Amino acid sequence: MLRPALRAVKPLRASAVAPRARTFTSTRHVRNEGPSLNSLDTFSDEEQMLRESVQRFATDIVGPKVREMDEKEQMDPTVVKGLFEQGLMGIETSAEHGGAESSFTSAIIAIEELAKVDPSVSVMCDVHNTLVNTIFRKYATKEQQDKWLPQLSENKLGSFCLSESASGSDAFALQTRAKKDGDHWIINGSKMWITNSYEAEIFLIFANIDPSKGYKGITCFVATKDMGIQIAKKEQKLGIRASSTCTLNFDDLKVPAANVIGGEGLGYKLAIEILNEGRIGIAAQMLGLAQGAFNAAVPYTYSRSQFGQPVGTFQGMAFQIAQAAIDIETARLLTYNAARRKEEGKSFTKEAAMAKYWSSVIAQRVSGQAIEWTGGVGFTRETGIEKFWRDSKIGAIYEGTSNIQLQTIAKFIQKEYS
């Protein structure tokens, strides 16, 4: 029997446990009491309970399946079901719509904790919450929210369909087109590298309704699989192999006019604003991954002796371990700070880009070092350490490559200093 995570935590919110010593996530609290003087890794009772609950779920339910899912390149349906049962697929969604009505940082904590055990499961939860649910919560009409959010909280996986073969970083150059036909839109085109798409039932599709307007013709549509979305190809990948990544084809896909989300021609703004938030999610995934690799490798260095002493106590290795701990801590602070700024209603785009960029750098570095620290053992598939390194490579690619993050940061610096 799974232990409900957020659902178990929710009553705490309602019963106003007093006194709430601090708040990491509650903007209400921060506004009322002035600037928080807490350290960045201080959490509310609710967040701490959530972290412990997700840790248990990740260790007990996900952990035993990680290797098999990686080898089979397939997500175990019981894991997907478990994510929904735990309340982890509607973290910020209102209770009215079946969600946990929790904070953005709660989503970040869940993504981080899942990634410590399996970055594939983490990204499934991340895309569903920080991209798909958030688009509905922020941009959909009340009717659309009433229709779609309960399904996304309950049991239907969501997918965010933006990238195409010729538009990755240049996302607004997308070629998928939508044409009005009475009270419907007809969508034609293809999407590539779409996370969650093999298991998903609800798809957010970005298509251009008026290419003469350039990116200001991009519009977001919601469609279901049974409307005729074709899963054309499931990619075989280096890492996060249990997370599905597919090519989708839309061949005269007929979508009701009521399924436009956020307004005609506003899809580009909606996509990038959501990605700004989503990048904190990927930062959390990479942070969790780095910590997972560290946790798996470091104890081994103190149990394995060579030349009469534990290998982790040789200065050459001890200093590497210390530096890796600093790397992880810096990524943690950048990630939590970006999340806190978002919750406080401050600007966070530059901070999110920094967190995403840096977490992906250190995830790759630490997981690579973890293999070297554990030697032959880490290089085999048995310990799962090499998997963290394979999984880390995607951090510099999706939700904006490292160069896109640097470009975003550079634009802010130029504005500030010129």
Closest C-alpha among 21, 152, 44, 35 to residue 90: 152
Measured CA distances, 217 to 43, 89, 191, 276, 389 (Å): 42, 31, 17, 21, 39
Q: Which active-site residues does the annotation give?
A: 399
Contacts of 60 (CB under 8 A, 6+ apart): none
Q: Is 347 in the site for ligand CAA (CB under 6 A)?
A: no
Q: Is 291 in the site for ligand CAA (CB under 6 A)?
A: no
The nearest distance, CB 404 to ligand CAA, in angstroms, is 5
The nearest distance, CB 209 to ligand CAA, in angstroms, is 16
DSSP state of 39: -
Site string for ligand CAA, 158-187 (x = CB under 6 A): --x-xx-----x-xx---------------
The nearest distance, CB 161 to ligand CAA, in angstroms, is 8
The nearest distance, CB 110 to ligand CAA, in angstroms, is 16
Q: Mark the segment that binds ligand CAA (CB under 6 A) among 46-54, 231-239, 273-281, 371-379.
A: 273-281
Closest CB to ligand CAA among residues 164, 327: 164
The nearest distance, CB 275 to ligand CAA, in angstroms, is 5
Q: Is 267 in the site for ligand CAA (CB under 6 A)?
A: no
What part of residues 355-414 is at the interface with ligand CAA (CB under 6 A)? 398-400, 404, 408
Q: Output Rg (C-alpha) for the chain, integer angstroms.
A: 21
Is residue 197 within 8 A of residue 161, CB to CB? The reply is: yes
Is residue 306 within 8 A of residue 330, CB to CB? The reply is: no
The nearest distance, CB 138 to ligand CAA, in angstroms, is 13
Please give the size of the binding site for ligand CAA, defined by CB under 6 A: 21
Tokens of 402: 């490292």
Tokens of 215: 């990116």
Residue 118, classed as helix, strand or coil, is: coil
Closest CB to ligand CAA among residues 127, 287: 127
**C-alpha–C-alpha distance, residues 194 and 412, integer Å:** 29
Tokens of 208: 């251009």
Closest C-alpha among 14, 24, 204, 203 to residue 104: 24
Site string for ligand CAA, 6-45 (x = CB under 6 A): ----------------------------------------
What part of residues 111-140 is at the interface with ligand CAA (CB under 6 A)? 123, 127
Q: Is 102 in the site for ligand CAA (CB under 6 A)?
A: no
- SS3 string of 184-230? EEEEEEEEEEEECCCCCCEEEEEEECCHHHHHHHEEEEEEEHHHCCE
Point out which residues bind ligand CAA (CB under 6 A): 123, 127, 160, 162-163, 169, 171-172, 195, 268-269, 272-273, 275-276, 349, 398-400, 404, 408
